[in-house]
Structure 1
Amino acid sequence: MPNTVTNALALRPTLAAVLLLAAVAFSARGARSETSAREGLLNGAPDPTGVAVTSDDGKTVYYVAATGEGVQLLRSTDLVHWTKSGRVFEDAVPAWAARDVPGTQGIWAPDLSYHDGLYYLYYSVSTFGSQHSAIGLAINKSLDPASPDYAWEDRGKVIDSDASRTDFNAIDPALLVDEDGRWWLFWGSHWAGLKVIEVDPSTGKPRQAAEILPVAARPDTRSHAIEAPFVYFHNGYYYQFVSWDGCCDGAKSTYKVAVGRSRQPTGPYVDADGRRMLDGGGTVVLQNSERWRGPGHNGVIATDQGEWMVHHTYDVENLQAQRILQVRPLTWTQDGWPKVGEPVSAP
């Protein structure tokens, strides 16, 4: 049984710490993709989140959850060599989600964290381009399938969306426990933008009569392309990282990461120029390069060695691998804004 759990991948400086989870089976460089980017939405290791567990014998074990059928889980002891560690659901999606969101083929954007003795895994189900979506929650006492405590319990639907009654899209959940111990769930993609609601820690679901609050949007763009909120506290501010533009078009992807900050978890968030994120503001901190395309859907991980951004990206030299996981150092400017470095290592 683990006795210490942190919501962090404790990266060691000597490791080649880019986690190309999906690329292991594809060693040929320069290979053209035989599966289109849209057909490969559930392949690779998209939308990943990770936790680091210190076991009773003092060893660190790393687990990653990522988009896929049933939510794929992977395990590592060195951040380089990964093995499959089962998945959360035996079926591609739980039965309630298959009924509520017809046509869904897998689970998107899991958010994995540890609080008060339980692993919380929020997940989303939808179909590409649709506002008919739902967010669910599963919990577990352990991530080790060999543990007698290992058993996923699905708590079912947390929140859902539909064009007839909501202005948001219920995907891309992310849980924040703020500095005062209050729980908040962020989510959203396109449409009217990103939202947050206060969560009851006893259930992991919204508090009764809790208000849904807007936290970011892109009303100044035709596509309203904003999604994947991730809020991280640093030195007195809550930083809201979001992803803009096109996520899933292979080498043509235009995904990028932008950020704003606030003294309160519910906002208002403003960028480095003082523009509100609700008005389309956001300071871009990661975008396309010659080799890496569509970097985004990020998380921030604090470690003993520093802070890191994890995100997925396409490698133009190996598009068949689909969206792979990449790790970059995260530092801070003198005036308190995040700065994203180059990948820790290339494949």
Structure 2
Amino acid sequence: MKLHRKIQPLFLIILLVMTNSSWAQDITVHDPVMIKQNDTYYLYCTGQGISAFSSKDLKNWNPEPAIFKEKPTWVDSIVPDFKNHIWAPDVSFHNNTYYLYYSVSAFAKNTSAIALATNTTLNPKDPAYKWVDHGIVIQSIPNRDMWNAIDPNLTFDENNVPWLAFGSFWNGLKMVKLNPDLKSIAQPEEWHTIAKRKRTFELQDTDPGDAELEAPFVFRKNGYYYLFLSWDLCCRGENSTYKVVIGRSKNITGPYLDKDGKSLNEGGGTLLIQGDKNWYGAGHNSTYTFDGKDYIVFHAYEIKNNGRPKLEIKELQWDADLWPIVKPMN
């Protein structure tokens, strides 16, 4: 659960698992997202100013400068005394520009905001390298909003209209239409709930609640929009119950249905990844196509290493009914 994960120490070993090979790297990551520019992969994750790494081969990773050496100037107006520990980035390339959405939040509150930074290159050695912060795109306020403005994911529909999915706990995961500049909400506003679980009615609005879901990621393939999301609790050692479930829809705004035809808005979700005797707390995924292959990226906790979290990258395969398949954790 992200509400608890952000205060945990980040001792993360990266383990990259491709089709028949695996490699271990001593780099610290959390909530990983990836993108490829030319012949280089870039990985961004939760951390001080947003942590960054690069690789030519998905084996040897080099640390890169944080996106923000200093916290954005506007952040203290949303989260007082913010320590520049920025959560769950999302990176995309569109119209010759890299768009990086990121989250700031107060612990265990929906005092949160999703903001945007852009760059024309991801290579810090390029003279044109410069992240430009555009500030808040979406903000959630306690006792006003029953959703949480964290965990962003940008997706374009079949008409190239941009949508931002996001959310954690409270009353479900949301999706909102953006303007073509990707910097603001389109007018008139169009909002959709894309997944939710039953929440105890008696809880205060400011309580994260017991509807444990977060981290939406929408992946377009096979004529469907696939919605990946994480259920249950992360970052609680052997008590971590994090897992990835999935639904799909012909329309980007839903309804998303699982394999049994149950709507994700009614608590549906087909299990894709969960822990086993060797792992627990597997979740917060992102999904990509690199060089003709589809991959799912997530983190998990390895029991034999005293629950130290690792990053997993696995190839996605597709069954006869066009549902994704992931090999067992080990």
Same fold at TM > 0.5: yes
Partner of 1:45: 29
Deviation at 1:219, TM superposition (A): 1.5
Partner SS for 2:75: helix
CA distance in 1, matches of 2:48, 2:168: 21
Partner of 1:341: 327
1:8-27 equivalences in 2 (<5 Å): 16=22, 20=24, 24=26
Q: Structure 2 vs 1, CA of residues 288 and 61 (structure 1 numbering), >3 Å: closer, same or farther? A: same
Structure 1 residue 288 corresponds to structure 2 residue 275: yes
Partner of 2:10: none
Code of the residue aligned with 1:335 in structure 2: it is D
213-222 vs 238-247, greater mean Cα deviation: 213-222
Partner of 1:96: 74
Partner SS for 1:278: helix
Deviation at 1:103, TM superposition (A): 4.7
Code of the residue aligned with 2:310 in structure 1: it is I
Deviation at 1:341, TM superposition (A): 1.3
Structure 1 residue 119 corresponds to structure 2 residue 98: yes
Code of the residue aligned with 2:141 in structure 1: it is D
CA distance in 1, matches of 2:237, 2:72: 29
304-313 vs 169-178, greater mean Cα deviation: 304-313
- 1:43-97 Cα offsets, whole Å, 9 max, x none, are x31111001111xxxxx11100000010001011111111111011012x32211
Partner of 2:12: none
CA distance in 2, matches of 1:63, 1:254: 29
Aligned partner (choices 246, 250, 257) of residue 259 of structure 1: 246
- 1:161-201 Cα offsets, whole Å, 9 max, x none, are 12221110000000001222111100000001000011112
Q: Structure 2 vs 1, CA of residues 279 and 135 (structure 1 numbering), >3 Å: closer, same or farther? A: same
80-89 vs 334-343, greater mean Cα deviation: 334-343
CA distance in 2, matches of 1:187, 1:329: 24
Does the CA-based 8 Å contact 2:298-2:312 persist in structure 1? yes
Structure 1 residue 233 corresponds to structure 2 residue 220: yes
Does the CA-based 8 Å contact 1:15-1:79 persist in structure 2? no
Partner SS for 1:310: strand
Structure 1 residue 140 corresponds to structure 2 residue 140: no
Q: Structure 2 vs 1, CA of residues 229 and 293 (structure 1 numbering), >3 Å: closer, same or farther? A: same
Name the TM-score, length of structure 2 as normaliser: 0.87
Deviation at 1:229, TM superposition (A): 0.3
Name the TM-score, length of structure 1 as normaliser: 0.83
Partner of 1:57: none
CA distance in 2, matches of 1:314, 1:74: 21
Deviation at 1:232, TM superposition (A): 0.6
Deviation at 1:13, TM superposition (A): 5.2
Gapped runs of 5+ residues in structure 2? 1-16, 201-208
CA distance in 1, matches of 2:53, 2:121: 14
Q: Which has the higher contact order (CA 8 A, sep 6+)?
A: 1
Q: Structure 2 vs 1, CA of residues 291 and 103 (structure 1 numbering), >3 Å: closer, same or farther? A: farther
Code of the residue aligned with 1:100 in structure 2: it is I
Equivalent residues, number: 306
Deviation at 1:202, TM superposition (A): 1.6
CA distance in 1, matches of 2:294, 2:43: 17
Does the CA-based 8 Å contact 2:162-2:182 persist in structure 1? no
Deviation at 1:104, TM superposition (A): 3.7
Code of the residue aligned with 1:298 in structure 2: it is N
Partner SS for 1:111: strand
Structure 1 residue ranges, 4+ long, deviating more than 4 angstroms after superposition: 11-15
CA distance in 2, matches of 1:234, 1:273: 20
Gapped runs of 5+ residues in structure 1? 1-10, 26-43, 55-59
CA distance in 2, matches of 1:305, 1:137: 29
Partner SS for 1:317: helix
Partner SS for 1:251: helix
Structure 1 residue 209 corresponds to structure 2 residue 196: no
Deviation at 1:319, TM superposition (A): 4.2
- 1:108-143 Cα offsets, whole Å, 9 max, x none, are 000011111111110001133211111110000111
Does the CA-based 8 Å contact 2:171-2:199 persist in structure 1? no
CA distance in 2, matches of 1:12, 1:298: 15
CA RMSD of aligned residues (A): 2.0
